[in-house]
């Protein structure tokens, strides 16, 4: 085997290792950014939680269950 063939093989192997290392670094960066994003989303969702509890729900009157037109008259269904 010639020196150039040996060196070509070594360079190929080194290039393959560097590409694999770069891909692993990209994957790690992507995973870190995704974790940060979802942590931020969770914090935003937690801050949107209603702080004041609502009072008891009042029952609706019978007029709310009927169909009404814009003039306010009750229409048959």
Flag residues of the chain having pLDDT under 70. 50-55, 58-77
Cα dihedral 28, 29, 30, 36 sign: positive
pLDDT in tens, 42-64: 999 888 876 666 667 766 666 55
Q: How far apart are CA 20 and CA 24, in angstroms?
A: 6
pLDDT of residue 72: 60
DSSP state of 71: T
Rounding to the nearest 10 degrees, give the CA dihedral for residues 12, 15, 19, 20: 70
pLDDT of residue 56: 72
Instruction: Indicate yes or no: pTM above 0.95.
Output: no
pLDDT of residue 69: 60
pLDDT of residue 40: 95
The C-alpha angle 23, 12, 6, rounded to 5 degrees, equals 155
């Amino acid at each position: 085997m010639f020196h150039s063939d040996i060196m070509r093989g070594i360079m190929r192997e080194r290039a393959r290792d560097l590409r694999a290392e770069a891909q692993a670094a990209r994957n790690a960066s992507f995973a870190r950014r995704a974790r940060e994003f979802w942590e931020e989303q969770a914090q935003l969702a937690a801050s949107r939680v209603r702080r004041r509890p609502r009072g008891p729900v009042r029952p609706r009157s019978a007029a709310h269950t009927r169909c009404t037109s814009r003039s306010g008259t009750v229409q048959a269904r």
